[in-house]
Amino acid sequence: MDADHPVSTVPPASAPPASRDATVPGTPTPGDGLHQRPLRLGRRVFAPTELVVMAIVNRTPDSFFDRGATFGEAEALDAVARAVADGAEIIDIGGVKAAPGGEVSAAEELRRVGGFVAAVRARHPELVISVDTWRAEVGRVVAGEGADLLNDAWGGVDPGLAEVAAEFDTGLVCTHAGHLPPRTRPHRMTYDDVVADIIATTVGLAERAASLGVHADSVLIDPGHDFGKNSRHSLEATRRLPELAATGWPVLVAMSNKDFIGETLDTGVDERLEGTLAATALSAWLGARVFRAHQVPETIRTLRTVSAIRGDTGLAVARRGVA
């Protein structure tokens, strides 16, 4: 496999299985790809039944998970190459950690991600490149360098970012962040209905982006696990993912090793893989399509299994009972 031309993480079947219509009352049903549009990002078109991994590469010295392992440019480029070789089809590059901390100006954020996007694009022409930023001025630079997707994790706090996406013909992630300023931890957040708030916010942002000229098939919505939410909110958002999928906008989930997993299991950051993969599998079954992940091979194997159970893909090999 040519790393610059990655094969789809989970390729779609030629037709949905007939058994998809025969669900047992009272049991969860898989996300129905028939009611979703294809997702177009950069040079790639992802079919409604494809489950796509977005690998995280942080150009930050203080990320909660990797603790600065990919802050250096050489290390970050190596991490991109590994993720692509492992099968990730989107790389999400971030220059500012989400948690509170020292101020990172727009100029410093650009020092970390500007230029780096161009270097990744030169090495991986077919790769979908995403940049995690809430700032329009950063979005404008990285879109000019070849970014295909602007991942706005802070809920449209800078309305100009959607305008940049329209101008440069990039995709946009519209996230629910609890209506908080960037890099703010939630404190005693309350909602009458957290999922209703998520849907109203993300769909509103998606519709605004489309009205500005962002292609509707290049817009995703993200419930924003842990952003503006306590752990019970994040669990509820996961249980009710079919409601987000029913909006017709492709759903991205960013759950990897987050605090709601840690509080569910009472584990530290380095012991959350099993919980993350369980949440990933359930989210795929319930309709999510893009999965932001730190551990790419494990996430891909999990999604391949879900896809096979759903009937969207076949076996990698067939030995048992056929000899």
Cβ contacts of 129 within 8 Å, gap of 6 or more: 42, 90, 91, 93, 117, 120, 121, 146, 147, 148, 149
Among 3, 2, 1, which Cα is nearest to 81's? 3
Could you confirm whether 229 is annotated as catalytic?
Answer: no
Quote the CA–CA distance of 1 and 5 in Å, as a whole number: 7
Q: What letter would DSSP give residue 7?
A: P
Catalytic site residue from 97, 121, 272, 292 = 292
Catalytic site residue from 112, 140, 229, 258 = 258
Could you confirm whether 292 is annotated as catalytic?
Answer: yes
- Helix axes 231-239 and 273-285, enclosed angle (nearest 10): 40
Q: Are 53 and 9 in contact (CB under 8 A)?
A: yes
**Helices marked H in the chain — which ranges?**
73-86, 106-113, 116-123, 136-144, 160-168, 194-212, 231-239, 241-245, 259-265, 273-285, 296-310
Among 188, 256, 194, which Cα is nearest to 223's? 194
What would the two tokens of residue 121 be?
Answer: 């694009």
Q: How far is CA 263 from the centre of its chain?
A: 21
Catalytic residue numbers, as ranges: 258, 292
